[in-house]
């Protein structure tokens, strides 16, 4: 595995973007994004559909090049050292980027991903990984028969097979219920905190995105949404930790009621 130029401690800057933009003569994906994302934390990139969230995630993961601005990931300069960044990052499913063949069985997809990283992919090893992600019951199902929640979790699981330092996950709430999105965010937060993995997700709803350790509006419209939401919670005298605890209680009760 590629090693960092320097050891980065949890909580220290892992991704640093300054005035980062990606555009072409037809359209701009994202413009003037500046942010610092710490190591070992869950971060949400917030913006409306079409605001460039997907392109931003692919840029920090070394899959796209910005047209202006500076970016460092794990101490490496992008795009000059993009070849060093790519092996450090894993991807959930991105439309038209890394989707798997819909006719494949879940078990086969996992086995192929294990082989890609030269990890022994015996049936026992594959089933252990499937079981870890709660996917064993759909191991013999075709990918195109999975519900959206299971499909997103499959993408996350595959993105983590190579034990990346950075994981990016797109459209965390697309076609999911709010409870499902919150469950995914909580699960990703636990992974980030327990493995020191930096995880960056995209959301359209700032109120959902603020459940991450850090929420970053990608443009002025998202910033306005963030200010409105924060003002609402300020007036209600609710702090983020209190909100997070309420949400987790709701999820726990839901799980117990459905057990």
Residue 197 near residue 29, CB atoms below 8 Å: no
- 202 domain residue, yes or no: yes
Q: What average pLDDT does range 123-149 have in this prediction?
A: 91
- 117 domain residue, yes or no: no
Burial of 149 (0-12, 13-18, 19+ CB in 10 A): middle
pLDDT digit string, tens, across residues 156-206: 999 999 999 999 999 999 999 988 999 999 999 999 999 999 999 999 999
The overall average pLDDT reported for the chain is 89
Q: What average pLDDT does range 9-14 have in this prediction?
A: 96
- 137 domain residue, yes or no: no
- 159 domain residue, yes or no: yes
Please count the structural domains in the chain: 1
Q: How confident is the model at residue 126 (pLDDT cuts 50, 70, 90)?
A: confident
pLDDT digit string, tens, across residues 197-255: 999 999 999 999 999 999 999 999 999 999 998 888 877 655 555 556 556 656 555 65
CA dist 206 and 155 (Å) reads 23
How far is CA 5 from each of CA 13, 77, 98, 141, 206, rounded to the nearest angstrom?
A: 14, 11, 28, 42, 34
pLDDT number for residue 48: 95
For residue 153, the domain's CATH number is 3.40.50.300
Range of the domain at 36: 13-104+142-258
Determine what percent of the chain is predicted with pLDDT higher than 70: 88
- 130 domain residue, yes or no: no
Q: How confident is the model at residue 127 (pLDDT cuts 50, 70, 90)?
A: confident
Q: What average pLDDT does range 118-143 have in this prediction?
A: 86
- 109 domain residue, yes or no: no
pLDDT number for residue 3: 44
Residue 207 near residue 229, CB atoms below 8 Å: yes
- 122 domain residue, yes or no: no
pLDDT number for residue 1: 43
- The total of other beta-carbon atoms located within 10 Å of residue 5's CB is 12
């Amino acid at each position: 595995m590629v090693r960092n130029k320097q050891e980065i401690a949890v909580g220290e800057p892992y991704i640093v973007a300054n005035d980062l933009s990606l555009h072409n003569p037809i359209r701009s994906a994202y413009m003037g994004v500046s942010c610092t994302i710490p190591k070992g934390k869950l971060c949400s990139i917030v913006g409306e559909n079409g605001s460039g969230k997907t392109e931003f995630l692919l840029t920090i993961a070394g899959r796209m090049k910005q047209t202006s601005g500076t970016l460092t990931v794990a101490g490496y300069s992008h795009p000059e050292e993009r070849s060093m960044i790519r092996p450090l990052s894993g991807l959930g499913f991105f439309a038209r980027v890394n989707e798997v063949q819909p006719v494949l069985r879940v078990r086969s997809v996992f086995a192929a991903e294990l082989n890609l990283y030269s990890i022994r992919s015996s049936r026992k090893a594959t089933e252990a990984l499937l079981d870890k992600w709660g996917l064993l019951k759909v191991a013999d199902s075709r990918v195109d028969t999975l519900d959206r929640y299971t499909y997103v979790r499959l993408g996350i699981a595959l993105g983590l097979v190579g034990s990346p330092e950075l994981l990016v996950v797109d459209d965390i709430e697309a076609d999911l219920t709010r409870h499902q999105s919150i469950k995914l965010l909580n699960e990703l937060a636990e992974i980030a905190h327990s493995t020191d993995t930096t995880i960056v997700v995209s959301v359209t709803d700032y109120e959902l995105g603020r459940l991450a350790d850090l929420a970053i509006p990608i443009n002025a419209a998202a910033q306005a949404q963030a200010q409105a939401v924060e003002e609402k919670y300020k007036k209600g005298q609710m702090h983020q930790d209190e909100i997070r605890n309420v949400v987790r209680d709701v999820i726990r009760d839901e799980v117990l009621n459905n057990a």
